Structure 1
Amino acid sequence: MSGSFSPSQTTRKPGVTATTNGVVAAQHALAAKAGAEVLAAGGDALDAAVAVSFAIGVLEPWMSGPMGGGAMMIWREDEARAHALNYGMRSSASLDPAHYPLSGAGKASDLFPWDAVVEDRNVIGASSVAVPGTVAGIAAAHGRYGRMPWKDLLSPAIAFAKKGLHVDWYAALIIASSARDLAQDPDAAAMFLDEGQWPKGSGWTALSDIRLDQSRHAATLERLAEAGAGDFYTGDIARMLAGDVTAKGGFLTADDLAAYAPQWSDPLEIPYRDGRLFALPGLTAGPTLHHAVTQWTKGYAAVEAAEPKAHLARADALKAAYAARLEDMGDHESAKAPGCTTHFSIVDRQGNMVAMTQTLLSIFGSRVVSPSTGMLLNNGIMWFDPAPGKPNSLAPGKRCLMNVCPVIGEAPGRRFALGASGGRKIMPAVGQISGHLIEQGMSMQEAIEAPRIDVSGGAQVVADERLAGPVTEALAAAHPLAKVQRLPFPYAFACPAGVMREHGINSGTTETFSPWGDGVTAD
């Protein structure tokens, strides 16, 4: 038998609508449900974002959590404007670049093709940990727009952590993919592995109830709920965190935590046909999205959006945008990198919206668990080029460059909040889905389900196999081309989540093949 096998089946994930209340779309349905319950109780979109942020850090701990960083776009209906909030990680002021000598052994082993560092000190272990920003960011947004008590909003996450994450087939698969690295840290091995070697859930069956012990995580969240977000940066949690990272050989001090502050800013406003997108400025994918959208709208008319000409114009524009990003920002993240981030989008009954992306950077971050807090630590130091003299070279007290791309978009009669996980694949997905919503008037479900391409660095264009025919023929004539399936694992494309408000009706959904993701209504 020759050739490839393509099963004759169709997979869909119906979106949800709500006529009177809000919607949460998140990569884990339980986290989305926690946020929807906040909305149903009269909470603001920002209240729901607090609940979802902490809950999903428990339910999908290898992707994001309090020890990471991220960014959000906020739409305030009463102000009729968007706000950008960046709470990305940064390097410690005490960091010593000399601790990361180049090994001369080729390229690094993870997301970025940097020159390899001795012992992968910038990739794995406590020396790869950067100053986290997620707690400061979500607290700043809640302080400005939240209505419900901080303590109440952490309750769902605490309950999930006390119960412990159920290791189903998908969790077991994710743990197995990183078992070798997790085994190097005794605390990570104790949490995720059996006998320091075998992934928990390796004997999984449909009737199994294997759970992670997240009791320390729960205790830290209880402390954070009672003492407030400031404790993470200047209180007991800060002392525990800095002590754990230092004891394991990393650079993180109490002064680093106390000095951390998120950044509010005016968003980039990107014209898009008869609509517009609001995106993050600065060290994010927002400027790259601006570059791509501006160029590709010149390459085809809106009525040609589904034609081969449009796909070719998108490929050309994305390739040019990433070339500029490499030149100006020094972003060398591999286009083949797996998705190691969490995104969720929220709309409440008033029409307020949040598009929030948070990350540990790599899957399982540094693959190190802080024993005092019970939480996985980020590996944000890997975002920096370890070679000196580059736009993004490693240095103390420096902000990390991120590929996050949460957006608020609008067209006549509709507004949406959208983002994705997936490293450099995020921006091409967000741009194309936004185009489906603005140019073609698709529903959020239709836009997320629609086949798309990925061009996020390098010469190759990756196309959904459903585009086979005139579209892929046009792409192949101009670029090296690969046709791939959309699968639950591994992801060939980014994993989006979006909500939309159209004529007072809210809707939302997530990536069709996200095993845990879903949209949940507050009705």
Structure 2
Amino acid sequence: MQFNLNAYPYASQRRVILAKNCAVATSQPLATLAGIEMFQSGGNAVDAAIATAITLTVVEPTSNGIGGDAFALVWDGKLQGINGSGKSPKNLPLSAYSSLEKMPDIGWLTVTVPGAVSVWYEVWQRWGKLPFEQLFAPAIRYARNGFPVSPVTAEIWRRKEVVYLTKKRPEYQYFQQVFFPKKRAPKAGEIWGSVLHAQTLEEIANTGGESFYKGKIAEKINNFAADTGGYITSDDLAIHTPLWVDPIATKYKELEVWEMPPNSQGIAALMALNIVEGLNIEQYKRDSVDSFHYQIEAMKLAFADAYAYVSDPDFMKVTNSNLLEKNYAKQRQELINNQAIPLANHGIPQGGTVYLCTADAELMVSFIQSNYDTFGSGILVPETGISLHNRGSAFTLEKGHSNQIAANKRPFHTIIPGFLTKDNQPIGPFGVMGAPMQPQGHLQMVVNLTDYQMNPQTALDAPRWRFLEGNSVLLEMGASPEIIAGLRERGHDVKLAPETMFGKGQMILKNNGVLIAGSEPRADGLALGY
């Protein structure tokens, strides 16, 4: 039969998934099933989250991988955070960047120490019930036996042919062999797998991640970097440690909204919510020019501050509390009027990804991991199947900036797991993947839930906007002509973009003892529970 797996001319509708015991929501059905498999084997929400995250490195390699970073928020009676972001190589020579006008997008100069594997093990060690090796079983199956590539993943894969297949330097050749074995991206429904990926996952499982940072895998990363112009060494890998951190929050209406602290950009979502709170957004219809305009302007101001101040916390020049002061939000709010701010400058306060979530009766997990930009650096370590991320491209070359590239430093980080509480009781995890779209998605999801009383699925489904820079704003293809015209009249430079530009989100909320899960239609995702 001949048909197009990427053609969906008719609007379809998803409904929330209701469950009493447990739930999983991810951007890939096979990954969701991996989480459910752990629950059915007697595991808990942490086991399910880690198994899901590991499986996503196989079934959605366009967004994350073994060679990426991960952050997580875990509720076990209180909310705890873990930051797995790695640092730049300690012997990184800044002279390597001296001839550049901006940070490169791919290549060795963008590679920082990958932290995802360390987060898997640390979180499992604290809360996991099942054997660590068992969490890898679904991912190893799919990597070794292959799986049909899903439509959205296939489309993203295809778009990156021009980026990765045109590179001729030796460090890119192994990547091309593994991810473009037919000199092109696999099409939707075609079978793809990686025996090397399966073997590496087995090595990580059997050593509790030790091999990745202090063993055979670390040695292979070290040697390939040395042979092809990279700077990351086995010493850099050996000293990596994920950080347990205190999440940060702001009160928005009746909810406490929680994010990871810097070097994560989660604080941008909280700053935007603080600004929006004083605008009484609920007085405007959800899909209206006013609602979109005021949210966009709040996000624009929040980004101006985030890009100016957020970095490795060891280098930040302002505090989180400075940026989250309600009085400071009021000052920023005064800059907003009926017209788009042409250039939002930062104020002076006083003083690229997969997202998944799981829940059971005792634990709730908000988990995110990423290569940064689709596949990452374009560098794959021989004999491992590991594609190294390009998180270092989030540094800046601007002299004196707190996020300026330096050796042994964590970059500004886009990945942000979110969590909601009410009166210090858990409501649940939520998140959106998509680089700078993430805090924008968080803002829109929280506003949808609180100001417009949407359920988790419709809060995810609702039409989105995306601020780029200056007055540039993207709207989804189905945006109404009235909203497009209205925003343009207010000075916004509006363009339409495909749904993949607006993030891919998941959510699980608890209400009266029932878990309510949603996974949005912009991805290939699935929410399940029982």
Query: Aligned pair in 2 of structure 1 residues 457, 471: CA closer, same or farther (>3 Å)?
Result: same
Q: In the alignment, what sits opposite 1:270?
A: 250
1:442-494 alpha-carbon deviations (Å, 9 max, x no partner):
2111110112322243212333465536655553343314253653xxx2312
| Match of residue 134, structure 1, among 112, 116, 129 | 116
After TM superposition, give the deviation of residue 304 of structure 1 in Å: 4.3
Helix, strand or coil for the counterpart of 2:444? helix
Q: In the alignment, what sits opposite 1:101?
A: 98
After TM superposition, give the deviation of residue 12 of structure 1 in Å: 2.4
Q: In the alignment, what sits opposite 2:218?
A: 238
- Aligned length in residues: 478
1:218-277 alpha-carbon deviations (Å, 9 max, x no partner):
111111111112222112222222222322211111111111111111111210101111
| Match of residue 431, structure 2, among 419, 424, 433 | 419
Q: In the alignment, what sits opposite 2:69?
A: 69
After TM superposition, give the deviation of residue 426 of structure 1 in Å: 1.0
* TM-score normalised per structure 1: 0.85
| Match of residue 311, structure 1, among 275, 292, 312 | 292
Given residue 18 of structure 1, which amino acid in structure 2 is its aligned partner? A
Helix, strand or coil for the counterpart of 1:479? coil
After TM superposition, give the deviation of residue 47 of structure 1 in Å: 0.9
Q: In the alignment, what sits opposite 1:436?
A: 448
**CA RMSD of superposed structures (Å):** 2.5
Helix, strand or coil for the counterpart of 1:66? coil
1:386 equivalent to 2:373? Answer no
The equivalences for 1:465-504 within 5 A come to 468=480, 471-472=483-484, 474-482=486-494, 484=496, 487=499, 491-504=500-513
Partner Cα distance (2:458, 2:406) in 1: 44
Query: Aligned pair in 2 of structure 1 residues 167, 493: CA closer, same or farther (>3 Å)?
Result: closer
Query: Aligned pair in 2 of structure 1 residues 188, 143: CA closer, same or farther (>3 Å)?
Result: same
Partner Cα distance (1:486, 1:128) in 2: 27
1:177 equivalent to 2:159? Answer yes
Give structure 2 stretches of 5+ with no counterpart: 1-7, 313-351
1:26-66 alpha-carbon deviations (Å, 9 max, x no partner):
11110111011212333221111110111000111121122
The equivalences for 1:98-497 within 5 A come to 98-103=95-100, 115-116=101-102, 122-167=104-149, 170-183=152-165, 184=167, 185-194=172-181, 198-201=183-186, 209-212=190-193, 214-300=194-280, 302=282, 304=284, 306=286, 308-329=289-310, 340-348=352-360, 350-411=361-422, 415-464=427-476, 468=480, 471-472=483-484, 474-482=486-494, 484=496, 487=499, 491-497=500-506
Aligned 8 A contact 1:68 1:359 in 2: yes
The equivalences for 1:509-520 within 5 A come to 509-514=518-523, 516-520=524-528
Partner Cα distance (1:483, 1:411) in 2: 37
Give structure 1 stretches of 5+ with no counterpart: 1-6, 104-114, 332-339
Mean CA deviation greater in 474-483 or 310-319: 474-483
Q: In the alignment, what sits opposite 2:10?
A: 9
Query: Aligned pair in 2 of structure 1 residues 169, 495: CA closer, same or farther (>3 Å)?
Result: closer
Q: In the alignment, what sits opposite 2:338?
A: none
Query: Aligned pair in 2 of structure 1 residues 474, 414: CA closer, same or farther (>3 Å)?
Result: farther
Helix, strand or coil for the counterpart of 2:143? helix
Mean CA deviation greater in 160-169 or 463-472: 463-472
Partner Cα distance (2:53, 2:482) in 1: 42
Query: Aligned pair in 2 of structure 1 residues 217, 278: CA closer, same or farther (>3 Å)?
Result: same
Helix, strand or coil for the counterpart of 1:276? strand
* TM-score normalised per structure 2: 0.84
Aligned 8 A contact 2:148 2:188 in 1: no
Aligned 8 A contact 2:149 2:188 in 1: no
Helix, strand or coil for the counterpart of 1:386? coil
Q: In the alignment, what sits opposite 2:344?
A: none
Helix, strand or coil for the counterpart of 2:365? strand
Helix, strand or coil for the counterpart of 1:509? strand
